Chain A
Amino acid sequence: MLELLKNLAAWLTGPAQWAGPDGIATRVLEHLEYSVLATLAAALIALPVGLLIGHTGRGAFLAVNLSSFGRALPTVGLVTLVFLAGGLSVWPVYVSLVALAVPVIITNTYAGMAAVDPEVKDAAKGVGLRGRQILWQVEVPLALPLIMTGIRLATVQVVATATIAAYVSFGGLGRYVFDGLAQRDLVQVLGGAVLVAVLAVVADLALGGLTRLLFRGRPATAR
């Protein structure tokens, strides 16, 4: 066990390991590319839907149950299915990651919108704001902490799951995990796993810090 940890430390700190086209630096960048693009695409799809459901109050049932469905959908199965249907391309990776992130963001966006005090909305209407003004000037600012929570949760899940890119022959940190499993090289597998975990924790902390920065001086409500 100690021997293994020593080898792992050597693997993680070896300079040769970090450089080159299969180096850790490249793999981290690939991993970030999949994660960031997938989360952005998911946010572009999910935010309008979540805001619309929250603003109109229609489709609340969908918003609540979508997250349950999203949690139940096995990502490995989805990526395999899209891969078999569409052939070798990077699409299966993005489709699965976006499918993973969209329900989380929709549900949290809706929850944030639903948590806005109806009296505040009435007051906004009372002082003459129109529907769209209420949405952007009242509801969205108040719902923003929970919306950010949704994006943060989604990001962590996407970073953690982007290892599947390697499953369908692409790069990213999953490469080490799958290659290591295939070569029965436990040190490499563990190295990849540790790097993914660190990346996920860093992404979580970074977004958490960003949220705190955005909401400095606001009471710590729904977080």
Chain B
Amino acid sequence: MTVEWGWFPDHAGELTRLTADHLATAVPAVLFGLLIALPLAVLAHRVRPLRGFVLGASNILYTIPSLAFFVLLLPVTGLTRTTAITGLTAYTLVVLVRNTVEGLDAVPERVREASKAMGTRPLRTLLTVELPLALPVIMAGVRVATVMSISLVSVASYIGYGGLGQLFTDGFQRNFPTPVIAGVALTLLLALAADALLVTVQRLCTPWRRGTPRSAPKLWKRA
């Protein structure tokens, strides 16, 4: 298997377009996932009886194969980018919901009580005390969800919205490995870059943790 290096400069434009396309599917999926996961997780955290149900439901979503997911959505949303984004969003939920619930669980009870004793209302406590303290665990979930989404976009190439995954189909059909190698490499690079970016964002968002040793990542072991 030989890589034809000349192929790269010739297709720089296409590679850029596909990378942008890739991000246009993966990024909204994570954002929508967060938008759905945060309220769900807060609910699961506050209302104990709902907890098992919410976590169980997001677990079941995860066991559905990604390709099957896109296909199951076809009758509803058709061959559109919406199908790709919806499928990926459902996938991110399992990590995002669990990590947010665990992050909220890990907020010490006395901190919550201190906030209450100072007369802070519940919503304000949630926004200014609990969520910021849970942020490292939530961000760990966001990182996993982002990397997963970026990798899974290629599965959507079967419905035409695979971003860099289109290169796999292309190379496969023409029996030409170079685009496939380019696709795999760029997907990995994109995932690594997104992960590094999120680490930076997390450091900027949690200045009180800077300089302290990395706390044991006990909470997201399963992730």
Contacts and interface: CB of A to CB of B under 8 A. Distances in A.
A149 B181 contact: no
A186 B222 contact: no
B123 interface: no
Interface stretch (A19-27, A189-197, A209-217): A189-197
Contacts, number: 128
A72 interface: yes
A77 interface: yes
Interface stretch (B5-13, B47-55, B60-68, B203-211): B60-68
Contacts of A156: 62-63
Contact of A84 (B1, B152, B158, B165): B1
A72 B191 contact: yes
Nearest to A150: B222
A177 B66 CA distance: 12
Interface string B39-77: 000000000000000000000101111111101101100
B68 A74 contact: no
A170 interface: no
B187 A72 contact: yes
Contacts of B147: 68, 71-72
Given A72-B147, A77-B183, A189-B74, A85 B177 contact: yes
Contacts of A74: 151-152, 154-155, 164-165, 168, 183-184, 187
Interface string A88-127: 0000000000000000000010010001000000000000
B65 A161 contact: yes
B184 A81 contact: yes
Contacts of A77: 154, 165, 167-168, 180, 183-184, 187
Contacts of B222: 108, 149, 153
Interface string A72-89: 111111101101110000
A80 B66 contact: no
A78 B184 contact: yes
Contact of B172 (A83, A146, A186, A201): A83
Given A80-B168, A85-B177, A190 B72 contact: yes
A160 B148 CA distance: 15
Interface in B205-219: 218
B173 to A, nearest CB: 10
A10 interface: no
Given A73-B188, A76-B165, A177 B71 contact: yes
Given A73-B151, A76-B154, A115-B218, A189 B71 contact: yes
Q: Which of A69, A71, A201 has the most CB of B within 10 A?
A: A71
Interface in A123-158: 146, 149, 153, 156
A160 B188 CA distance: 21
A29 to B, nearest CB: 18
Contact of A181 (B154, B158, B172, B180): B158
Contacts of A115: 218, 221
A76 B155 CA distance: 7
**4 closest Cβ pairs, A-B complex:** A193-B68, A160-B65, A72-B191, A77-B184
19 contacts: A4-B75, A69-B188, A74-B152, A76-B154, A76-B155, A77-B167, A78-B184, A80-B180, A81-B177, A146-B221, A149-B222, A156-B62, A160-B65, A181-B158, A189-B74, A190-B71, A194-B72, A196-B67, A204-B63
